[in-house]
């Protein structure tokens, strides 16, 4: 029988890779905690309507990338393609937004039926933060500051560039879209099918076209900045001066529009040249209209989402995860001889109790010394504790050897009762 394989673009994350994920998750959680953000968890499945109304009917995500289906009751549901819509739905449904300020974070899998390649998957994971109830540019700056702090903690800041843009209000973009449609309508013979289709549904997406002929047709096209209202402009300028004062460098990219309809005013993206084609690692901005659009009261909001897989790729290829984070286990206890199970398990328990945070494996399944010590090496432990009966003796051993599993192979023989007390020094000398 043929074996069933995972779905294309949906990855298994194996134990060795999980160590980088854990490290990244821990640092992210430390950073959001330092900034006073609190976790919110919401379902992976939502009504399809939620995403249509928030992300936008004529975006790539909603048009062709969602995993949507009718469930057994005939309700049309979708696997979430991003987190903001579900976060807003949940926060509003539970009354967290009315007349309040909230700083929330989430993490988890998202689903988009895109063409899989390195850094782009059909199930991928995001960290996100969302801040509600704050009108001024200071919260935009805080959201960006938090992302910069994360890169600093991960030692990735120097590989990342911050791009920002002001995309104005929804009505600014509507007026601009109409001007763009009028401009391109006179040049339809230069457009491809995709661009022609978008011309009347979502003309700003034509700007993203990779087709050189379409880009040629865009020469001399109206620019969004000329349609942006004065309030948006001063908000954006204030954000820029806060970023300047904080020493956070950025470049302004007037082409940055983001693929989700709910954004307004300031949008930003962190990009890298370390990942080939999939260079965007974090995208965000302000979305003041979304809560109302989903049926809540008007609530200012800003946030971002980070692609976890892309950060994991960077951490691994740049070797930014500290060595001790990549060691799954510290001590491996092995016992050669009959009837030593209880003694081995007890010693493991004593070590774990004395050194919280120490990873201790107690060998199970018996076997000869050679096969057990091989397992100790294979699992990456730094130290093996070896309980071995004297030749021919049936009595439990009184002493055990502590052996460093590095090049030095240093050995110390101790009474078993002394091991928990002495282990600290031995580990310290082993660089643990
Ligand atoms: P978005 O929700 O489209 O603003 O994306 C935010 C971030 O999620 C991007 O900057 C990427 O890092 C990441 N991302 C988006 N789509 C994918 C995907 N298909 N696979 C992996 N990461 C993704």
Percent pLDDT > 90 in the chain is 83
Task: State which of 83, 113, 124, 258 you would mutate to test the pocket of ligand 1, scoring each by most atoms of that ligand within 8 A of its C-beta.
Answer: 124
The proportion of the chain whose per-residue pLDDT surpasses 70, expressed as a percent, equals 99
pLDDT for residue 362 is more than 90: yes
- The residues pairing with 130 across neighbouring beta strands, listed in sequence order, are 104, 303
Tens-digit pLDDT profile for residues 257-284? 777 778 999 999 999 999 988 899 999 9
Instruction: Report pLDDT for 46.
Output: 98
* Ligand 1 contacts CB of residue 124 (under 6 A): yes
Cα(21) to ligand 1 centroid in Å equals 17
On the question of pLDDT at 432 being above 50, the answer is no
Instruction: Name 195's bridge partners.
Output: none
Residue 84 has pLDDT above 50, yes or no: yes
Return contacts of 118-122, CB within 8 angstroms, 24+ apart. Answer: 118/275, 118/276, 118/277, 118/278, 118/313, 119/275, 119/276, 119/277, 119/278, 119/307, 119/309, 119/310, 119/313, 120/278, 121/9, 121/10, 121/11, 121/309, 122/7, 122/8, 122/9, 122/10
CA end-to-end distance (rounded Å), the chain: 47
Q: Is residue 311 within 6 Å of ligand 1 at its C-beta?
A: no
**Which residue has its alpha carbon closest to ligand 1 atom 11?**
307
Which residues sit opposite 304 in a β-bridge?
A: 129, 284
139 pLDDT exceeds 60?
Answer: yes
Residues in the chain: 432
Note the pLDDT tens digit of each residue in 290-300: 999 999 999 99
Q: What is the mean pLDDT of the chain?
A: 94
pLDDT tens-digit series, residues 31-52: 999 999 999 999 999 999 999 9
125, pLDDT greater than 90: yes
> How much distance in Å is there from the Cα of 307 to the middle of ligand 1?
5
> How does pLDDT run across 175-211, given as a tens digit for each residue?
999 999 999 999 999 999 989 988 888 888 888 788 8
pLDDT at 50: 97
Pocket test for ligand 1, best of 67, 280, 306, 311 (most atoms within 8 A of CB): 280
From the CB of 305, is ligand 1 less than 6 Å away?
Answer: yes
Note the pLDDT of residue 431.
52
Tell me if 80 CB under 6 Å of ligand 1: no
Buried b (16+ CB within 10 A) or exposed e, 259-286: bbbbbbbbbbbbbbeebeebbbbbbbbb
Q: Which of 11-20, 121-130, 207-216, 346-355 has the lowest mean pLDDT?
A: 207-216
Alpha helix stretches (DSSP H) within 118-161: 137-153
Ligand 1 mean position, distance from CA 379 (Å)? 34
Predicted TM-score of the model (pTM): 0.93
Q: In what order do the strands lie in the sheet with 45-47?
A: 45-47, 76-79, 68-70
Residue-level pLDDT at 322: 96
Beta bridge partners of 125: 109
Average pLDDT over residues 161-179: 94
> Does the CB atom of residue 261 touch ligand 1 within 6 A?
no
């Amino acid at each position: 029988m043929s074996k069933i394989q995972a779905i294309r673009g949906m990855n298994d994350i194996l134990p060795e890779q999980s160590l980088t994920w854990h490290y990244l998750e821990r640092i992210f959680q430390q950073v959001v905690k330092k900034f006073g953000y609190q976790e919110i968890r919401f379902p992976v499945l939502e009504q399809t309507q939620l995403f249509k109304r928030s992300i936008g009917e004529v975006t790539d995500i909603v048009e062709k990338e969602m995993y949507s289906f009718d469930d057994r009751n005939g309700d049309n549901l979708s696997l979430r393609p991003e987190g903001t819509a579900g976060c807003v739905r949940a926060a509003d449904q539970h009354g967290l937004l009315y007349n309040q300020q909230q700083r929330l974070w989430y993490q988890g899998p998202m689903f988009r039926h895109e063409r899989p390649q390195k850094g782009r998957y059909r199930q991928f994971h995001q960290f996100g933060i969302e801040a509600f109830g704050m009108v001024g540019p200071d919260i935009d700056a805080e959201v960006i500051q938090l992302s910069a702090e994360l890169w600093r903690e991960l030692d990735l800041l120097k590989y990342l560039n911050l791009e920002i843009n002001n995309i104005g209000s929804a009505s600014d973009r509507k007026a601009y879209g109409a001007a763009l449609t009028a401009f391109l309508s006179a040049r339809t013979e230069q457009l491809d099918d995709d661009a022609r289709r978008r011309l009347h549904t979502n003309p700003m997406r034509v700007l993203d076209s990779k087709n050189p002929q379409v880009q040629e047709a865009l020469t001399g096209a109206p620019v969004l900045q000329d349609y942006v209202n004065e309030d948006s402009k001063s908000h954006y300028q204030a954000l820029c001066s806060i970023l300047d004062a904080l020493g956070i460098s950025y470049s302004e990219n007037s082409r940055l529009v983001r693929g989700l309809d709910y954004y307004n005013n300031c949008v930003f993206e962190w990009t890298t040249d370390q990942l080939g084609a999939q260079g965007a690692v974090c995208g965000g901005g302000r979305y003041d209209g979304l809560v109302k659009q989903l049926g809540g009261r008007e609530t200012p909001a800003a946030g971002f989402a980070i692609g976890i897989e892309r950060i994991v790729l960077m951490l691994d290829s740049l070797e930014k995860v500290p060595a001790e984070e990549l060691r799954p286990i510290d001590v491996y206890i092995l016992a050669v001889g009959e009837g030593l199970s209880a003694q081995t398990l007890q010693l493991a328990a004593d070590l774990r109790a004395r050194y919280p945070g120490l990873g201790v494996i107690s060998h199970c399944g018996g076997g000869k010394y050679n096969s057990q010590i091989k397992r100790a090496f294979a699992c990456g432990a730094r130290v093996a504790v070896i309980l071995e009966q004297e030749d021919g003796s049936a009595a439990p051993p009184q002493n055990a050897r502590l052996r460093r599993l590095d090049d030095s192979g240093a050995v110390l023989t101790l009474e078993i009762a002394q091991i928990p007390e002495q282990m600290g020094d031995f580990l310290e000398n082993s660089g643990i």
